[in-house]
Structures are given as C-alpha cells and as structure tokens.
Chains A and B, each alone.
Chain A
C-alpha cells in the first residue's frame, strides 16, 4: 500500500486552477523529486497535502487513511511534516527551544502546563541527537533570528525532522543557501533515515539527480511526467517544457 496517495486532487482559486486533477501514489521509503517550471503549482500541491489549503475536489490518503478533512496539526500527528521554501522559524526562540517544542508536542506532552520544560532526559537527549544530525550543536543557544542563513535552513529541516514523520515534504531546501553551505545541506538530506519517505521540491537539478530515485514533473498544476530520473531527463516533452534549461544526469 502506498504511504501517500492523492486521488483527483484539485484546487481552484476563482477562475484559476492551481492544481488540476493530480492523482499519484508514493511508496514507503521512496525518494521522490517534484519538479516543474515556475508557477507549476508545486508549493500549492504541498500546501494541499499538509492541509494549509483545502482542496476543491479530490482526496488525500496517508497510509490508506483519508486525511483530506484534517487540520494541519492533525496531519503532523499522523506522520506528515514539511519544510517551507521561505524559512518559517520561531525567530525569538533558540534552536534548543524550537526543537524541544516539537519533540514535546510529538511525545504528547505539549500541553503539560504543570511541568517545567526540559526536565525529562528522554527529551533533552533527543534534542541533542537532532542537533547533532543537523549540525546545530554550536548554535544551540543563540536566538534563531541571529543565526546565519545556512544554519537557519538546517534548523528548518531539523524542526520537520523532529516530528518523526513518515512522510517528509521538503520545499526547495536549497533555496537561497550559498554555494559554500550547500554541501552540508545535501549531506544532511542524504543522511535521512531510509524508512522516511521524502518528497523533494527543487529547482537545483544537481540536488535532484543525486537524491531522487523517482521524478515527477508538474506543469500548470497537472501531472506531466513521472518516472525514473533517466527517463524523465531524456523525455523530449520535459525538455521542451523547460525550454532552454539543461537537464543533466
């Protein structure tokens, strides 16, 4: 059974159809890249999947369960997490607190009002683990707002990862990251556990081809092409759509 599936997903804004009857399925552990020209509706699609937008038609299934009516935070509880194209962080909190927040929430103690936060070893250990994995160990106690952009981007992913999702949606994680810091980012993405299904939206084709075992192309809100990286790379229609852009791989 596919871990994530959409059936005829559609989103209309007045006269504009941003998502046009998208039906696709992703198997567990897949490394899927979602690409397409600007304005193809990739972020809208992710917003639909995560519940930020409600679809005009269609269904979303997570591990066979219909989640179309669920609120964003409920979907997170069910195992779907995302990162944002433009960093959405808690500017005034430190990475420790931000990650700690997500971990507490996940463990179900997010609403505990009588306990002091950070008292439990299990949680502090996990915060340390995640900080390690995302190379945030040296900036843990700084205010998020003053962190360098690359670190912020890592924190962006760390927060999503802290949700221990089964499906992780990464919306252009390399966006705006300077060349020098990209390496760190790439390595972190590649080191993600194998049982987590990752859906990556990206424009950076190097990243796409080194990461993905499957590529889906979205054009004008509709599924345009779908398959193994080599197939998609050599598909003439895809090349035509990306007029002028080189797809190497």
Chain B
C-alpha cells in the first residue's frame, strides 16, 4: 500500500500484518495431517517413528534456544538425560505411576536444572557457551556414572516398569501406543512452542538475538528473557528424554552422551533453525539417514555422520540446506526471513534470501 495520510488505514495495515503472521498456513496444516495419517499409513514402522517423534521434540527444544535466542549449546543432552533418568527412577521406585504425570514432573525437573545452569550461558562468547554447555553435560554424565548404584551406570537402569498411559493405554510391543502417545505430546508441545514464538516474548527473543545491545536499549531485560527460554527449552528436552524412557522402559548413560548432543546439532543443521519445523523435518531426514547408514555399515555409521557434517560445513550451510528454504517459505510465511543459524559477529555468512520471501508477499 502506498503512503497514507489518515492514521486509521495504516493501523488497519498494521493489524492485518500481525493477523496474517499468526495464521496457520496451509502447509502447516498439511504437515500435521500427514503426521496424523502416518499412524495408519505406516503401521509396521511405529517403533522407528516413535524414535523420530522423540528426536523431533528434542530438536524443537534446541531450536528454541539456538534458532530463536541464539544460544549455541553442545550439551543439550544434559536435560534430555535428566528427564530420562528422572522418569526411569520414579517409575522404578513407583513414585509416580501415571506416565503423563511423570512426563510433567520430568519436564519440571529438567527445567529446574536448566534454570540453575542458565546463568552460565549468559556471559561469554559463543566459544565459552560451547564449552560451558559441554562441561555441564559431561558433569552430569559423570554423576550418573559415579552413582551407578542408583542409575545402573553403563548397564542402564533395570526394572523400569511403565504403567498404561492415563491408566487406559498399555504400551505394546509394536510401538502403537508409544507412537500415538509421542506424536500427541509432540503436537501439544509444538502448539505451545508456536504460541510462545509468536508472542511478544518470542518477538523479543529474535530482537535480542539479532542485536542484544539495542534490545537492552529499548527496555528488554535480555538476561531475564534468556534465562526464561533456556529453562523452557531444558524442560522440553527433559520431556523428550522422559518419552524415551517411557517408550523403551529403559534408560542408560547414552542419554547423556556427547554423541546425542552432536547428532542433535546435525538434525537442526539439516532442517534449518528459526522456524520451528526445522527440528521436525531434520529429525525425519536424520532418522532415515541413520537407518540407511546403519544397514550399510552397522558398526561404523558414525563415520558417515561425521562425513555429512564435514561436507555440510565445507559446502556452506545455506547452500547445503537451501532446498529446505522452499519448504520453509511454504510452511511459514511469518518467519520467512533469517533462514539460517545466527551468525555471531565477525563470523559466518549472513542469512541468504534462500526461498524466503520478504513478508510483504501478498
């Protein structure tokens, strides 16, 4: 629209802009319909689909801090592990018998740890954050290892018995209950995350990631916001970990492993950050890839993962994942800018206009 002289029409334009921004796009609706349909489309694949859903949820949690707040973490598995072990322990000792309740509690526990450690990532450069988050994850793993009389150590937690969901849906061998359960949790958490990201709070995150100096200069309490989103992210990661324990009735040290944190980064790199669906798409692709590679060279599939990482970086993240820009543009018009990871000052390439239309597309 051209310049207006009366205020009213301009105010209407503003309101319309925000309304459009918030709308569920057709692609989003299609995405979730397909996800729902997958229950019936792939009845024999529910076990791996469950793993994918859990990974997607985990990736979603990292996207919140990495894609939206710009916090680089090399140790997000720490919160995943807290959720996983918490759930295993309360199930084993019969403290909380209903899975959904245990899920909430696990998320809360992970959020507490997240809150406690959030202060460590406020200060320092990206490098510092990488090391601090790595350190926290390693400490937790060491704790789990050290107190193997409680955690089962390298052998894992034994005797975890999971009750039926809501007292009604028993976990079966084929993963049917597990998948529907995980998919539902994923959807619910996703909707909440979407709300957060679309809210004034979410908008302030983008601001403080892009320009923390200016964010503070317009009255945004930067540290408070970072602590908040870090805590939420930790909680969601904990929920993902809890789901893993509940669906496999098992929990071992590898929930806290460095591999898990590193693989998670790869998932987000593949899918793209900053638009919420990147973790979900990336998880699907990663799982496919992992399945394929594991069949190829069972013991050494890590090699190929490493190779993929190296190649993606060499080729350049934007170019390697450029095709997902089309998915992004279709899925989310509102976040159609900033398709790549935040580039720290003096760092990598800025966001390319990869299929991401400016928000004036109408």
Q: Do A and B come into direct contact in the complex, CB within 8 Å?
A: yes
- Asked whether any CB of chain B lies closer than 8 Å to the CB of A142, the reply is yes
Q: Which of A52, A90, A159 has the most CB of B within 10 A?
A: A90
**CA A143 to CA B22, docked complex, whole Å:** 18
- Asked whether any CB of chain B lies closer than 8 Å to the CB of A116, the reply is yes
- Asked whether any CB of chain A lies closer than 8 Å to the CB of B128, the reply is no
A124 B11 Cβ-Cβ under 8 A: yes
A163 B22 Cβ-Cβ under 8 A: no
Contact of B14 among A110, A128, A159 (CB under 8 A): A128
Return the CB mask of A133-152 against B: 1 if under 8 Å, else 0.
00001101111001000000
Chain B residues closer than 8 Å to A131, beta-carbon distance: 10, 14
**CA A115 to CA B198, docked complex, whole Å:** 8
- Asked whether any CB of chain A lies closer than 8 Å to the CB of B330, the reply is no
Return the CB mask of A97-110 against B: 1 if under 8 Å, else 0.
11011101110011
A92 B203 Cβ-Cβ under 8 A: no
Contact of B217 among A88, A119, A121 (CB under 8 A): A88
Q: Size class of A's contact patch?
A: 35 or more
- Asked whether any CB of chain A lies closer than 8 Å to the CB of B214, the reply is yes
B214 A163 Cβ-Cβ under 8 A: no
B14, closest chain A residue (CB):
A124
- Asked whether any CB of chain B lies closer than 8 Å to the CB of A4, the reply is no
User: Which one of B86-94, B147-155, B180-188, B220-228 is at the interface?
Assistant: B220-228
A89 B211 Cβ-Cβ under 8 A: yes
**CA A72 to CA B213, docked complex, whole Å:** 9
B218 A116 Cβ-Cβ under 8 A: no
Contact of A111 among B4, B201, B213, B217 (CB under 8 A): B201
Given contacts A72-B217, A89-B211, A140-B17, whether A117 and B206 have CB atoms under 8 Å apart is: no
- Asked whether any CB of chain A lies closer than 8 Å to the CB of B164, the reply is no
A90 B200 Cβ-Cβ under 8 A: no
A128 B196 Cβ-Cβ under 8 A: no
- Minimum CB–CB distance from B19 to chain A (whole Å) comes to 7
A137 B4 Cβ-Cβ under 8 A: yes
B202 A163 Cβ-Cβ under 8 A: no
User: Which one of A55-63, A76-84, A227-235 is at the interface?
Assistant: A76-84
B213 A100 Cβ-Cβ under 8 A: no
Contact of B7 among A50, A132, A163 (CB under 8 A): A132
12 extra interchain contacts, Cβ-Cβ under 8 A, other than A113-B200, A138-B3, A159-B214? Answer: A81-B217, A90-B214, A91-B210, A104-B200, A104-B204, A110-B220, A113-B199, A117-B199, A117-B202, A118-B17, A118-B22, A162-B218
Interface on A for B, CB 8 Å cutoff?
Answer: 50, 52, 71-74, 76-77, 81-82, 84, 88-94, 96-98, 100-102, 104-106, 109-119, 121, 124-125, 127-129, 131-132, 137-138, 140-143, 146, 159-160, 162-163
